[in-house]
């Protein structure tokens, strides 16, 4: 009887399967920690929640070939400077509102969700809000009574979701914080509101 080739033996394939599975498990664990480090607030790409105390603008980065966020001078949301803890509580309340009202049923956030309504990642910088002086009030008014307005070319109106003023303000905080995230240029080609850096 001919000797069996090493590469066709059952034990070779069994050992290979075990080693590859174990190796990939290690890679997966490493990637999980690496991703967590990159998506946590207070890291290079995802600013700490107190970023809502500052102006957020965008500049074109020649090297990366897309717009990148710039955290500018102090410009507290609703005119009130918050501590890190207060800012985190406000942004979390906004995030809970977004989850409770299921905004992603119509909108996408950081690219996830539905495509019925505009992506909200940079909604804070939408020129439609007018100027930066009236934006905050405009956003709160819109979130509380969106059924009255039609502000883009979609021809669709957002329904009234029964959002309270406190929830609307917290949602604006969440949207402002989210607009400061470096999303590698997503959404592509968006036009930020006119404001100095």
Per rule CB under 6 A, count of chain residues that contact ligand HEC? 28
CA pair distance 68, 27, nearest whole angstrom? 30
Least separation in angstroms between residue 117's CB and ligand HEC is 3
Task: Select from 15, 64, 156, 191 the one that contacts ligand HEC (CB under 6 A).
Answer: 156
| Distance (Å, whole) CA 190 – CA 183 | 12
**By C-beta, is 19 or 128 nearer to ligand HEC?**
128
From the CB of 122, what's the least distance to ligand HEC, in Å?
8
- Among the listed ranges 30-38, 43-51, 77-85, 146-154, the one in contact with ligand HEC (CB under 6 A) is 146-154
Q: Could you tell me the smallest distance in angstroms from the CB atom of residue 33 to ligand HEC? A: 31
Question: Least distance to ligand HEC from the beta carbon of 167, Å?
Answer: 8
Name residues contacting ligand HEC, limited to 159-178 (CB under 6 A): 159, 161, 163, 171
d(CA 144, CA 160): 7
Contact of 61 with 68, CB cutoff 8 Å: yes
Burial 45-57 (b: 16+ CB within 10 A, else e): ebbbbbbbbbbbb
Q: Is 128 in the site for ligand HEC (CB under 6 A)?
A: yes
The first and second tokens of residue 93, run together, are 């309340």
The residue ranges that bind ligand HEC (CB under 6 A) are 97-98, 101-103, 105-107, 116-118, 120, 123, 126, 128, 143, 149-152, 154, 156-159, 161, 163, 171
């Amino acid at each position: 009887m001919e000797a069996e080739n090493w590469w066709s033996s059952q034990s070779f394939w069994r050992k290979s399967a075990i080693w590859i599975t174990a190796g990939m498990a290690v890679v997966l664990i490493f990637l999980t920690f690496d991703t967590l480090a990159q998506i946590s607030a207070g890291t290079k790409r995802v600013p700490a929640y107190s970023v809502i105390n500052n102006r957020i603008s965008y500049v074109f980065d020649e090297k990366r070939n897309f717009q990148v966020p710039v955290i500018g001078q102090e410009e507290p949301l609703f005119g009130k400077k918050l501590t890190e803890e207060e800012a985190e509580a406000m942004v979390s309340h906004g995030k809970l509102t977004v989850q409770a009202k299921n905004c992603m049923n119509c909108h996408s956030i950081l690219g996830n969700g539905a495509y019925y309504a505009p992506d909200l990642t940079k909604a804070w910088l939408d020129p439609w809000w007018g100027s930066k002086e009236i934006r905050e009030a405009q956003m709160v008014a819109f979130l509380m009574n969106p059924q009255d307005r039609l502000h883009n070319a979609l021809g669709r109106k957002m329904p009234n979701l029964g959002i309270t003023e406190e929830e609307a303000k917290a949602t604006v905080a969440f949207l402002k914080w989210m607009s400061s995230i470096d999303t590698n240029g997503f959404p592509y080609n968006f036009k930020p509101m006119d404001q100095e850096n």
